[in-house]
Chain A
Amino acid sequence: MIIEAIYGAFGLMAGLDAKLLEIVCLSLQVSLSAVAIATALALPLGAAIAVSKFPGRQTLIVILNSLMGLPPVVVGLVVYLLLSRAGPLGQLGLLFTPSAMVIAQTILILPIIAALARQAVEDAWREYQEQLRSLGAGGWTAALTLVWDIRFSLLTAVLAGLGRACAEVGAVMIVGGNIDGVTRVMTTTIALETSKGDLPLALGLGVILVTLVLLLNAAAYTLKEAAQRRYG
């Protein structure tokens, strides 16, 4: 059945089914937006924790690392309760829109990117610390310099976040409602087709999803290798 699914997948892609394109575009839009926002927030956060000393630092690191394992469905439920009309942010009318999905995914992947960034920056800090402090660069300056210097290694952290966002279904299902044409993405479509018993179609979509993520990762890896050769 898997081979059938792979052929089915290529058939779908070749046919450039309009509905499929809509779903794929929405999936990419939601997950890439979430990754962009989460990265902009998580990199400075992770870097700051890596280079600072403050009471409770170790506890914070443990909590941050644990949050990497936040169950998507729990995040979805919490965001749903916040955005529901009966909830505190109901006025915004964001529930069942792609924006709600972006918010939920951002919350989900922020700890992943921050925790991995913190580790990478801390490792680099060990190497660079004395030299940077000797030059008079401390605190924020040093953290941002490090982040920029190891930016291609941080790409790995960002990719981990992207992978999680593309793969999850629990959060987007609850806050998006899987509305046809509005909030239906690849993962929720796969869930729907599976529950309708249309397993070949679901598998085919699964193959497309995995291929997409593979391509994104391959592109990032090539970029990283090129940079490594250029900058050492």
Chain B
Amino acid sequence: MGDEPMRAPASILPLRLVDVSFAVNGKVIVDRVSCAVEPGPRTIILGPNGAGKSVLMRLCHGLLAPTSGRVEWASPERPGERRRQAMVFQRPVMLRRSALANIVYALRVAGVPAGERDGQALAALEGVGLAPLADRAARVLSGGEQQRLALARAWALRPEVLFLDEPTANLDPGASAEVERIIQAIHAAGTKIVMTTHNLGQARRLGDEILFLNQGCLAERAAVDRFFNQPASAEAQAFIKGELPWT
């Protein structure tokens, strides 16, 4: 390292969604959503099943291209450059290798030099409490362990933004609690959290602000306390009361 001060790369936040829509075969799944995602608060995208939460998240992360509108990061990612956002899916997808090797793979793709990969991977495993399972085949781990591994993998990449798509939907309460604890730790370390859930309790526990999605539209946006105590929109009220029909 030289004597020059390290220039931190420009932040990719805020993320701006401008009139973003996504339709498939004429069916509109995300309908003209506009908002800005700022650094800092933990953002929860809440809504009933079929509201378009997962699709919206994939649009933000770049896995899908909007059929109209724009997804603009403050500092656009160029192909070939290390990614500064990561995503954890509802079902973790692991390669047929050891837990450690899965994280090492992610680091290799990210361009981390060979000598540093093992160390960083092990540290990430320790952070989620999986260090004893480092050499176990990742795909034989339990659902909860695999999800923690997915988090470790994402965290090892030191992303600025971490997207999480219903990360605990398939887990038992014990595993869910573990995952929530890890998410909090990642946030405490400085990563912006953007998460979808349809679990009200989880939204309350983990969120700072709520983006409420209903039938593809952004129905309401508010700080978490205000949202749950005084929801402004009729749909939000119905949802909280559990009356919203399945779409």
Contacts and interface: CB of A to CB of B under 8 A. Distances in A.
B96 A136 contact: no
Contacts of B89: 130-131, 134
A232 B93 contact: no
Given A135-B83, A135-B109, A141-B109, A232 B140 contact: yes
B228 interface: no
Per DSSP, chain A at the interface is helix
Interface in A101-145: 127-128, 130-131, 133-138, 141, 145
Interface residues of A, number: 17
Interface string B63-87: 1000000000000000100110011
A230 interface: yes
Contact of A135 (B96, B97, B110, B140): B110
B97 A231 contact: yes
A134 B140 contact: no
Nearest to B157: A135
Report the interface size class on chain B. Answer: 20 to 34
A131 B93 contact: yes
A149 interface: yes
A134 B96 contact: no
B137 A231 contact: yes
Contacts of A137: 109
Given A149-B95, A232-B139, A134 B86 contact: yes
B61 interface: yes
B219 interface: no
A231 B139 contact: yes
Contact of B137 (A130, A134, A232): A232
A137 B110 CA distance: 8
Contact of A230 (B86, B105, B109, B137): B137
Contact of A133 (B63, B110, B139, B140): B63
B138 interface: yes
A136 B137 contact: no
Contacts of B140: 231-232
Contacts of B62: 133
Nearest to A231: B96
B106 interface: yes
A149 B96 contact: yes
Nearest to B138: A232
A136 B63 contact: no
Contacts of A133: 62-63
Given A128-B93, A149-B96, A134 B87 contact: yes
Interface string A136-174: 111001000100011000000000000000000000000
A136 to B, nearest CB: 4
Contacts of B138: 232
Interface in A173-221: none
Task: Pick the most buried of B86, B87, B96, B140: most chain A CB atoms within 10 A of its CB.
Answer: B96
A224 B82 CA distance: 35
Contacts of A150: 96
B95 A135 contact: no
B145 to A, nearest CB: 12
A149 B93 CA distance: 12
Given A145-B105, A231-B139, A232-B140, A134 B82 contact: no
Interface of A: 127-128, 130-131, 133-138, 141, 145, 149-150, 230-232
29 contacts: A127-B93, A128-B93, A128-B95, A130-B58, A130-B63, A130-B87, A130-B93, A131-B89, A133-B63, A134-B83, A134-B87, A134-B89, A135-B83, A135-B86, A135-B106, A135-B109, A135-B110, A135-B157, A136-B82, A136-B110, A145-B105, A149-B95, A149-B96, A149-B97, A150-B96, A231-B96, A231-B137, A231-B140, A232-B138
Closest 7 CB pairs of A and B: A232-B139, A131-B93, A231-B96, A232-B140, A136-B83, A134-B87, A137-B109
